[in-house]
Amino acid sequence: MTKSDTCIADKRRTFRQLHESGCFVIPNPWDIGSTRFLQGLGFKALATTSSGFAWSRGYPDNAISRDMALAHLHEIVAATDLPVNADFESGFAPDPAGVGESVRLALETGIAGLSIEDSTGDTAKPLFEISEAVARIRAARSAIDKAGGDALLVGRAECFFVGQPNLEETVARLKAYAQAGADCLYAPGIRTREQIETVVAAVAPKPINLLVGSASQFTMEAIAALGVRRVSVGGALARSAWGGFMRAAELLAEQGTFDGFADAASGNQLNAFFRNDMASGRAA
């Protein structure tokens, strides 16, 4: 086993251990700079964001290619000492065999885990039939097992995200994905205490990832008390950055004012952070 292989195995072992007890935040950077900054704040793991990355390249979410996604994973994994979970959309393939091949390629980037969604991208039929979605999770599970089995598989039920907020259907899908080999379950879009508690109880003892993508009534302490093991923020950090940029740019273009720069980060602060980051040996 090479030094690189040992490093990847260590990250994957650490990542699995994080899911065994307690509750942790897994924030979502979209480029090298945001990755290193989040590591510098002391987070224990990171996750990519398909939307944040797509916007940074001038694409809408779910419009990047598999090759683009894989190149991005290589870049993010190389930029951090932390385990990285890949937002791998629906596996970049129309069938289970293709999902398995995509997962095999993703694992070669050194990620510690990845998620597979059950959304189709077709507004007329936004979700795969549950039997097909299960087959896709099984294909991902098989690819991970063939590669050593140490990477974490996250099964995502996208019901709430695609305009079908049916909690019973969501739970049925998550339980099926758990039985098909998903290590962690994720239902983006659930928000209420009742929804969260229902999902946590339905798949226990497997861990649940909760998406908090906007201002929330819950604190991390309250979320942990509900039994959630992992909290991600999706594209929220990227949207926050875009929000500041858009406000400043629009004021400049439409009113000729510079008021949008009032909350800008200090250049000295950013330079100091990245200078220290490079000195620590984290910069490539």
In a domain, 266, yes or no: no
Helix (H, G, I), strand (E, B) or coil at 209: strand
d(CA 101, CA 255): 51
Determine, yes or no, domain membership for 166.
Answer: yes
Task: Judge whether 210 lies within some domain.
Answer: yes
How far apart CA 64 and CA 163 sit, in angstroms, is 22
Domain count, the chain: 1
Amino acid 280: pLDDT: 83
pLDDT at 283 over 80: no
* Helix axis angle, 96-107 to 130-146, nearest 10°: 30
pLDDT, mean over the chain: 96
Q: Say if 257 falls within a structural domain.
A: no
Q: What is the DSSP string of 74-102?
A: HHHHHH-SS-EEEE-TT-SSSSHHHHHHH
Report percent pLDDT > 90 for the chain: 95
Does residue 281 lie within any of the structural domains?
Answer: no
- Find the CATH number of the domain harbouring 113: 3.20.20.60
What is the per-residue pLDDT across 198-227, written as a single tens digit (0 to 9) for each? Answer: 999 999 999 999 999 998 889 999 999 999
pLDDT-based confidence at residue 194 (cuts at 50, 70, 90): very high
Evaluate whether residue 278 is within a structural domain: no
pLDDT for 99-123, tens place per residue? 999 999 999 999 999 999 999 999 9
- pLDDT confidence band for 193 (50 / 70 / 90): very high
Domain of residue 46 covers 3-235
Would 18 be classed as within a structural domain? Answer: yes
pLDDT band (50, 70, 90) for residue 4: confident
Residue 206 near residue 186, CB atoms below 8 Å? no
pTM value is 0.96
Asked if residue 255 belongs to a domain, the reply is no
